[in-house]
Each structure stands twice: as structure tokens, then as C-alpha cells.
Structure 1
Amino acid sequence: MNQRKQTLLGLMSIVLSMSLVAVGCGKESNSGTTPKASVETAKPEAGDNPIEITWANNFSPPEAEGNYVQKQLEQKFKVKIKNVKLDRQGWKDKFNVLLASGQIPDIFPIDADETDMAAWADQGIIASISPDEIRNNMPKYTKALESIDAGAWNVGFYNGNNWGIPKVWPIGNSGMIPGYNEAWLKKIGYNEPPKTLAELEDVLTKFVNNDPDGNGKKDTYGMSGRGKLPIQMFSSVFSAYGVSPYQFKIGADGKVVYGGITEETRSALKLLNKWFNAGLIDPEFITADNGQLNDKFANQKIGMVDNMGWSSFDAESGYITKSALEKGQHVIAGKPVIGPAGKAYAFSAGARQAPVLLGVQLEKDAAKRARIEQILEYVATNSEGWLLTVYGEKGVSYDMNGDFVVARLTPEASKAGAGSFYNPLVYVDTSMVKYNTTKELLDLKAKLDNGYEPLRDVIGPAVLTAKAKYWASLQTLMDNYLIKAVIGKADTDKGFDDFKVNWLKSGGQELTDEANKVYAQRQKK
């Protein structure tokens, strides 16, 4: 497997694991005010006996106990690791059984979210940790974290305490950008992608009416949308109005409001319905997922896809580019179009994630806490530790071509214990990308991942009790209304007003009130 394919596999595993949890872009603290903690600050100490660490994770569980990575960490840090291996799917049920039986690990699974954090904090299952302690024992990690998003500390702040070690996913900061069939653009007289919403409408109209595929038939559409995942649906149009229907934003009155009930969304839906009625939008968007979008673009049924990331434009990308090239089509990247919002905005999920949580017993064990923080600093920010935990043993699990890692796909390599199990902070330090990202991809990012302002949720991952009660039903209400409004089955005048009232009455008002409280608290920090 060549380097580009190795890299794309890694990037796709990152991109496709996106939880689509949005994050804030409003005024954020650089953590100048430290949340209080109920434990004594830990400092690294040397002792005679190994410290036993119970390490639970649901990513990359090692095949065997006493694997190479485990042994190296144990020897270096004078610890004894007890592995608690969980599957990616259904991990929480098994984990909750362990917790109920009093088996609380020291390090919790990486997929635990902020709702889990709040529940376990209330139940006295996880440890609160002073941010100052983390900064002191993990200085390089803190620098890497805050270079991505200094507000990442907010996610772990709950009931006056900081819970766990903050974590980010840097690629989430990138926005979605549109891709166009380059030959179609040239056929209709465009030498470059459209820059404004008006130009985009002109392009889509000509994609439909000017026979861009040259087959003498009117059988093409301008665009489609990912109806199976509406948060990504028609993001270029909503972003041109400065809104995502699935993100909290700051309204004209300075208060937090959910994007889907704003006037910006109403206006965007009116335009989308106009385009739908004009035949610019493929009516099958309602049931489309990325696989269908892939096929329709490659087979010249649509000329634009607007939920691509910068890495999707690599020739080996499994989304749009590779399949299009195999059919003789070239996709060209555009910038987010400028519309009524006056800026080029791009929908972005954001980088913030729930923190890495630690068991409550560590509140009374400063020495173990410090040792864990030492280990996590090493595996996240030290090249030796990062390569060890992510790739295993050099010469057995992987080889080096300059700085670039070439993984060995052999049975011996798979037994090393490498992956994310012993490194829950694998993506935070972006200086490590040199080991698994080619110069071509780095150049592609530099070329495409700019020229726009990311459109992010001003709240992001946060503990909202109303969310646990109402989120699923509120999302269904939003999904159904948006699709109906686009295809004309729901009007955007009184129908939008009625939808807004219904959304607020169905728990949206309670959720919005709570979001405003969280936002106000963060501004005081």
C-alpha cells in the first residue's frame, strides 16, 4: 500500500468518525479563571513499587495482555497496566455493568461524552481535576490543546469543577467547502467556481438547462443534498445566510438562539424551495447519503456537492474525487459562496470533544494521578511516545521513510497493541501529522483550507439537562420541517412561524434558556 493510500485511510478514519458535535466560535476564555477542584494538586513522584493503572478504552483494543506497547509504557513509567477492553459498538452497556459492580477504572473509554461526564460526576464515579495541575504536569499538551481551541476547557466544566483532561479533534475545525464538475463549469462559461450566492444560482441553472454533459438531453441537476444527514444538507446555502439550522448562534438581541428557528433559516429555505421548484435540486436528495452523492457526481447527474472537506479533494479520496476521476470527471474546489451574511462562511463541526475522564478514586491518589498525566503527556506530545502507541514497534509494526510512517500489514504488526487504546489524545498535537500525512496532503490543506470563516456552534459540547430530555424529538422536528420546506410541502411563512412555536413548546425553549445560562457563565470566566 503506497503512502498516499496509507494516509487517506488514516484521514478517512478521522473524518468519518466525526460525531458532528458542534463547537463555539463566540468569545472564549483562555481559562484565566480556574474551576475549583476538591483534590490536592498532584506532582510527579518516584516510588519503589509499580503503580497499577486500570486502563479502559473502546478503541483499538490490544489482542493480547502484555503486548509490546503495554510493556514499554510499564517499564518507562514504572507502572502495571490492567487492560479493560471494550468493543466500539455497545461498549457503554458493558461498561455500565462494570461501574454498577464497583469496578471503576482509572482511565475511562474515549467515547464517553459530556452527558456521560455529568451523570458520572453526579453519581460520584469520576474525579475532578484542577486545571492548574494539568497545566503543570502536562505543559506541552496544554500548549498543543490551547493552540487549537483555548475554550476546550469549557466542555469539562460542570457544577463548579473541572472533570477530566480536555481533548480536541483538530480536523473538526475545518469547514465544508463545495466541489464542482470542472468540465461543466467551463462548458457554461465559468473559468472558476462561483463566488457569490447569485453566481451559484446562475451556475446551477445552467447546469440544468445548458446540457453540460453534452448528451443532448435535459437530464442533469445542479446539486443534491445529504438528506440522510440533514445537518450537512445544503450547508453552502445556509452558510451564505450565516446560519446552520443545527447550531446555536448569537441572535440580533445578543442572546443565544437555535439556528433552525431564525429568520436566516427562513430566508435560506425560501431560496432552496425556489431552486427545487425550478428543477435545480435533485428530488432524490431526500433519501441521499454520501454513497448516492458519490455515484450521482461521478455519473454526471449532478454538478455540485457542497459537503466536502479539504481532504476530499485528494485524488485518493473515497468521497467524490476518486470515483469521479475513475469516470473521467474532475472535481474542482470552490470557496464558500458569499450571500446575505456578507462573508464566506463554512459549516464546521468544531474541534472540542468531551474530556478523557478518570475514576473517582484518583481524587485521593495524587501520585497515581500525576503518573497518568505524565504518561498522557508522553504519548500525546513526545514523538517517541506517539509513535510507540500509535504504530507500535519500529521494524516490526512499521518502518520509516524519512519522517513518514509506513505501517506493516502483517499478523506480527497487529499484535503490538498500537492504535488509540493507549493514546486517547492521539490527534491533539498537530506537529505529529508529519508522521502520517504526506507533503501533498499538507500542501492541499494549505491551498484549500482557508479563505472562509468557520461557522460553529457558540455552545458546542456542553452539559444541558434539557438536551437529554428533548434532543431526539427536537432533531426529528427539525429534520422533517426542513425537508418539507425545501420541497414545498410546508410553507415558509405561517408554516415557519407554526414550526418555530412547536419547536419551542416541545422542549426547545427550555433547551435555549439553558444554553443562554451556559453561555453567560462562560463569558464571566
Structure 2
Amino acid sequence: MIKKWKKASTVALGLTLSASLVACGSNDSGDKTAASASPSAAPAKQEPVKIDWLGYDSNAQVENPDTNPVVKLVQDKFNVKFNLWYADAQKWDETLNMRFAAGEMPDFMKISNIQTLPKLITQNVAAPIDEALVRKVAPNYAKYIDSVNKNAWDFGKVNGKLYALPGTNPRSMYPTVIVWRQDWLSKVGITKTPETLTEVEDALTKFRNNDPDGNGKKDTYGMSDFAIPIIMGAFGRPAFDDVKAAAKEPARALMPMLKDGKVVTAATQPEMREALDVLSKWYKAGLIDPEFITSENTTGYWADSQAFYNNKIGLTGKGMFYHWRNVLEPNNPADTLGGQYVNFNKSQPNGTIAFGKAPTGPKGASGAPQWATYANSYIFTTKGAKDPKVVEATLKMIDATFTDYDYFLTVTQGIKDQDWKLNGEQFVNMDKDPAKNVNAKGWNVFNPTNGGFSQKRDKFLFDFAEKNVKTKGYEPLALPATNAFAKSSNALAKSTIEAYFKIITGELPIDAFDEYVKKYYANGGTEVEKEWTEAYNQMLGK
């Protein structure tokens, strides 16, 4: 289990942070004599606040940081001087743990996974920060977090204290998409996009039996693995948000959910028994591609569905609205549509798509998997928290990305009238080197919480999402790491995937679900859920 953090020095940092900032922000130097002796003297320029900065994804090192125009603009605006850290994103924890062990740490940093937060606290790396202080110095950021997902604050807490500032992911306000072959629906005589589980079954049956691609062969199916979580969602929270990932990653096979005040495993809930019963019947009827186990994504980008592109299935999902955007943005000659729609259109130039809604099940449940509306989390280290000027400058930088549109565009897109411009309210991208990594350019290095202007900058994209893909979703529940999960998750995940696949394919009867659940709890599941619930309550300070 997570040990309660009781380091006196770190607690003191959190308790004194607010008071220190008040003192540092005062115009009263305390030297009345000096002030009165030269009333007309210009105030001396303050030394820049030095900040060791790792508040970004670190996908590439910033090139020429001493002369980079974005770096210079931010430094001048906030009177700071950055020492930009770099940690290979593919070796993030490994690289930083070595530096922590050597006694080195930045002042402000992204953390790779919120589950690592308790460890960072016990390592004396993460410092607590007063939420009231954040709301005072960065009120617009705090207001935005409250409006998007007020619970996001809780995911950065341990023992009721705030340690990690939540980032935002506005695009995740929309669940993963449900994409139908519109031309297939029309071919089999369906005039309305399916909205209920019964309507979905009818469409999939006709896709299987009525030759929707017109080649005279019975070689089409209804769906594959991308749509399985959507069907599960018609009964309750899906066991998995991604079948392919669940087969490889224990955390994706054993997804936690809140139920009756406790944290439980979604895969073991009775609603999933009902979902499996339907899926097994559909598989037997040939509605599900037999190769779903190896995934409809056989190569390339994770959101690509070769089975959908190649006339094998007529329903897919998993991707986001921007992947499948099929409408060009007016007045943007550089627009190329969504990447997955482009790939589909290359394979099926005469094919058309329709965006669907999460189907409603027999008891009214519905929903597609949804990414977390909170994104990466960020911490002040114990080193950074010792200097109230570092904390104040950092919070002011964050807040500026929620109040100053030009500043937001500069730190995310580069220099105005060189890398971007505004035609009225419309953002126009003028990037002359789009293949170059944005971090190398100095972009998205000083926008740790993703700012508050994404919807304004990408108005056409969000308007498209609002019109076409708004549906119900199931957002993940973030939890700290626990010992029981680390100990038992591999074996439990393996038994879960085996049971689910065998039941769907008919190798095991639906009654095997009950035996699977029994063994799950006997082999460590009870302790996993017990520690999950304790960790969740401890996170909230209960």
C-alpha cells in the first residue's frame, strides 16, 4: 500500500508556500530609509528568476535555446531564465531516476504517469502545493479545470494534499468515435444510423449476409475488435477501452471503476457477463470477424483499421474525431482532412462514412470509451518549491495560457506573422517546416497544462466534433499504484483476457464467466480492489 507521506521538510514547504509568496510579492522592501532617501530613483531591474524546467513532453531537445525566439519571449515576459532539461521520452523514468539518485532535479516537471506520484513523494522529489495558492495566482487556469473536470484536482492528491497540477485535454471531452460504412448501410436498405443495440445487430447481420461490397462473395463481417468496447458500453462500463492493448498491458485489462463507494474491476461486473453473452452469439452468427483477436489494426498508426479500409467490416471505432474528420476546413488550402479518413478514402475512393452514436442497451446504458479530460500532470519538486519566486513565476506562466491568446499561440505555434497569423479570429498556420519536431522549435515547451484556447484556435475542428461525434462516454478512473496490483496484475490480466476471448469465440460457455470471477477474487483480485479503494480514499484524504 501507499505509505503516508510524513517528511517534515516537505510538509513545511507546502505550509509555508502561500505565506512566502505574499512576502515575495510585496512592494514594501522593509528599508524605509533607503526608499525615502531617493524617491525619484528608478527601481533597479530585478535579477531573472532561474528555473530548471522540464514542464513539457521532452520529445526533442530545444535547438539553440539561448537564441530561440520563443524561449526569449517567455523569459522576457516573466523575467525568468530557463535551464531547459531534456529527458528522452522513451526512457523518461529511467533517465530521471538516475538523476534523482545523483541528487539532481528540475524545479518544475511533467510526470509520466500519475501512478508514479506516490513514489516521487517518498523519493522526496514531489512537493505539496496549496490549492488555494494555485487558485489565487493562477485563477483562470483553476477556473478552466473546474469547468472541464473538477475531479481532476483529486487525481493529483495524496493523503488529501495536492501534489500534481492537472493538465487539460479538451479534445477528450468527446469520446472515441463510432464510424459506419454509410455506403454499406444504404446498400443493405438501412436509412437511419443505428442507435440501439437491436439496430446495430440488424445492421451487422445484413453486412454479413447481404453482400454490401457487391463482389458476389460472403466475405464481409459486421465488426472487429475496435467496436467491442462500444458494444460492452451498452451494458455498463466496458471491461476494456482497447482490446488490443488489454491483451498486452495489465492496466488496460483490469480497469478500475467506482461502484457503491468502492473501486472495483470493470471486467468482473455482472453487466459484462451480459455483454459477453451478446458478443458470443454475434460471433457464432458470423457478425464479428474471426481475426478480431489479432486486431483490425495490423500495421501502421494505432487508429488505422485495415479491416475497415479493405472492405472486410462495416463498423469501427477507437479513433478520435480528428482522425476521421471528413469535411475540409474552409479558407485553409493546407487542410488534408483526418488521417484515418484519408487512408480509408485512398482504399475506397467511392466509399462513404457516417458517424454513429453509442448504442443504447436493454437497460438504457450506452457509452464509448473516452480518454481522460485531464492530461499530463505536473509537479513542483522539493527543490523548486523552496523558492517562492519560482512557484509564482511558473503559476503566472500557466495562467497566461488561459488569458492571453497571442501568448498561447506563441508558445504552441511559434512566432506571430512568421509561423502563424490571424485572419480576424481565424488562426492560420504558416509553419514552414511541419516535419520538424515542435519541441525542437521551442513550441509546446512552455504550455504544460495545454492552455485554455485550443477550442478557439481549432474552432472548425471542435465545431465539427460538436456536430458529428458528440455521444456518451466512459472516462477512465485514475488511481495511484498499489502493491497488490503490481503483485497480481499480470496473472489476473492473463486470466481475464483468456476468459473473455474464449467466451466470445464459443470455446467456453457463458457460465464460464462465473468461474472466472470466482478465481479472479481468489487469486488476488480481492486484495487488488481493497487496496484500490484504500488508495482512492487516501488520495482524497478520506
TM tier, smaller: 0.7 to 0.9
For 1:473 and 1:352, how far apart are their aligned partners in 2?
30
Q: CA deviation at 1:392?
A: 1.8
Matched, 1:39 2:33: no
Partner of 1:481: 499
Change (3 A) 1:453 1:520: farther
For 1:523 and 1:65, how far apart are their aligned partners in 2?
40
Of 290, 297, 317, which residue of structure 2 is paired with 1:290? 297
Q: Can you list the C-alpha shifts for 1:271-325, whole angstroms capped at 9, x where unaligned?
A: 1111111111111111114356632222221111133433343122222564246
1:201-240 correspondence to structure 2 within 5 Å: 201-226=201-226, 234-240=228-234
Partner of 2:256: 248
Task: Return the letter of the residue paired with 1:51.
Answer: V
- Determine if contact 1:60/1:418 at 8 Å carries over to the other structure: no
User: Which runs of 5 or more structure 2 residues have no equivalent in the other structure?
Assistant: 1-12, 28-44, 241-254, 327-336
Task: Return the letter of the residue paired with 2:155.
Answer: V
Partner of 1:361: 383
Q: Can you list the C-alpha shifts for 1:370-393, whole angstroms capped at 9, x where unaligned?
A: 121112222454213211211221
For 1:523 and 1:71, how far apart are their aligned partners in 2?
40
SS at match of 1:296: helix
Q: Can you list the C-alpha shifts for 1:380-430, whole angstroms capped at 9, x where unaligned?
A: 54213211211221233334444313132249997984322222112x41x
Q: CA deviation at 1:361?
A: 1.9
Q: CA deviation at 1:81?
A: 0.6
Partner of 1:466: 484
TM-score (norm 1): 0.83
Of 525, 528, 538, which residue of structure 2 is paired with 1:508? 525
Alignment length, in residue pairs? Answer: 476
Q: CA deviation at 1:522?
A: 7.3
Task: Return the letter of the residue paired with 1:424.
Answer: P
SS at match of 1:217: coil
Partner of 1:453: 472
1:129-140 correspondence to structure 2 within 5 Å: 129-140=129-140
- Determine if contact 1:69/1:416 at 8 Å carries over to the other structure: no
Partner of 2:446: 422
Q: CA deviation at 1:524?
A: 8.0
For 1:453 and 1:505, how far apart are their aligned partners in 2?
34
Task: Return the letter of the residue paired with 2:305.
Answer: N
- Determine if contact 1:138/1:377 at 8 Å carries over to the other structure: yes
For 2:374 and 2:218, how far apart are their aligned partners in 1?
45
For 2:464 and 2:47, how far apart are their aligned partners in 1?
50
- Determine if contact 2:155/2:539 at 8 Å carries over to the other structure: no
Partner of 2:509: 491
- Determine if contact 1:127/1:358 at 8 Å carries over to the other structure: yes
Partner of 1:52: 50
- Determine if contact 1:346/1:455 at 8 Å carries over to the other structure: yes
Moved over 4 A (4+): 411-416, 518-525
Q: CA deviation at 1:118?
A: 1.0
Partner of 1:8: none
Identity among equivalent pairs (%): 28
For 2:403 and 2:521, how far apart are their aligned partners in 1?
45
Of 309, 314, 339, which residue of structure 2 is paired with 1:303? 314
Q: Which moved more, 1:142-151 or 1:509-518?
A: 509-518
Task: Return the letter of the residue paired with 2:15.
Answer: S
TM-score (norm 2): 0.81
Matched, 1:341 2:363: yes
Q: CA deviation at 1:197?
A: 0.8
User: Which runs of 5 or more structure 1 residues have no equivalent in the other structure?
Assistant: 1-35, 227-232
Larger Rg: 2
For 1:80 and 1:280, how far apart are their aligned partners in 2?
60
Q: CA deviation at 1:54?
A: 0.3
Q: Can you list the C-alpha shifts for 1:214-234, whole angstroms capped at 9, x where unaligned?
A: 2221111111114xxxxxx50
Partner of 2:99: 98
